[in-house]
Amino acid sequence: MKSFEMNPVIERLSSDFFRQLDPRRNPLNFALIFIPITVFFEYNHLYGQAFLASMLAIMPLAYLMGKATEEISLRTGPSLGGFLNATFGNAVEIIIAVLAIYSAYKNPDVAETMIQVVQASLIGSILGNLLLVMGLAFVWGGVHYTTQKFSARASQINGSLLLLALAGMAIPEFYSSSTEGTNIISLSHYTAILLLLVYILQLLFQFRTHTEIYAASSHHDEVIEMSYRNAVTLLVVSTIFVSWMAEILVGSISYAAEEYHLPTLFIGVILVPLFGNAAEHFTAVSVAGKNKMDLSVGIAIGSSIQIALFVAPLMVLIGWALNVPMTLQFGSFETLVTFMTVLVVNFIIQDGESNWLEGAMLLITYSIIALAFLLM
């Protein structure tokens, strides 16, 4: 009797797909076990535990989304590849924010809490990328190298974009304070449209007209590890599971805040971005240890720019479409903290060099801010 033999093509396609899920290849995949654990807690109405488990489950799923996007982008030109990475780089934040806004639309009783969570998570992503991620990258790189260099020109341009984005976020806040909130929603809507326009211009600048400035940040030395079909399949599957886990996460935030006695702002600003961006954090820190600082700094600052110029305005427009009062008015304290963060980071990166002391300063700044939100 002839033994069954798998088609070599099918075997190769399946092997490089499941290889990405192997915990021996990436220890972060061990956290995939939290997917069924999250479902168990949710089914048994243990919402506090479901909140914690869903955050842990999102970590490896976010990594798999990033890996699949990277594999797809390697088969495209630099412009399209860069656009794909820019689009999916903050997919977890987009999914969580969209689900929270939709929850506010479906249940007006929790609308205020959901809007606060969305705004807090956006601010938290910016703070986490600029202070925590860049701080860890500078420290880890500084352990291996006395001084590391990166493109000062690209950093200065990105720093200017961050200041512009911050102005778009700060003006609605100051406007509300001086006019008692009159027309704040309309101002946020039109400001969001203008910020999206700036984002489109930034993509055109980076990936079309001035590619040489960002050339050092490209993935030209990466090796293709998956077939195109498997990369697309992995992206679709991981996105579905991220959406599922994010839905459970959003639905359990209020229960977790009450059960663990945590301020909603702390959950949104610190916890959600910390776990949602974990895979991206690991990448930025690991490449810093290989002296690829252009890539490391590009991940940290680039992700912040995407949040400020793309994700935040997009959430305002989605809220507009659903008649949810999502605005760019993030609160006086949150706006002040973000403004100080952008200024500190701009001063540190303007010389195009980094060391472990600068990383330590960023980490200490992040710790002070996290403590402030915890005690609010």
**pLDDT tier at 290 (50, 70, 90 boundaries)?**
confident
The tens digit of pLDDT for each residue in 240-255 reads: 898 899 889 888 888 8
Specify the pLDDT at position 4.
Answer: 46
SS3 label, residue 149: strand
User: Could you say which architecture CATH assigns to the domain 8-374?
Assistant: Up-down Bundle (1.20)
Query: Number of C-alpha atoms within 13 angstroms, CB side, residue 48?
Result: 8
Q: Give the per-residue pLDDT at 9.
A: 47
| Token duo for residue 193 | 């449209």
Give the angle subtended at the CA of 188 by the CAs of 182 and 192, to the nearest 5°: 165
130: exposed, middle or buried (C-beta count within 10 Å: 0-12, 13-18, 19+)?
Answer: buried
pTM (whole model) above 0.85: no
Tens-digit pLDDT profile for residues 166-197: 888 888 888 877 766 568 888 999 999 999 99
Element (DSSP H or E) covering residue 54: helix 47-73
Distance (Å, whole) CA 358 – CA 353: 10
Q: Is residue 262's pLDDT more than 70?
A: yes
Please state the domain extents for the chain. 8-374
When the pLDDT of each residue in the chain is averaged and rounded to a whole number, the result is 83
Token pair of 148, please?
Answer: 């590391």
Q: Where are the alpha helices (DSSP H) in 205-227?
A: none
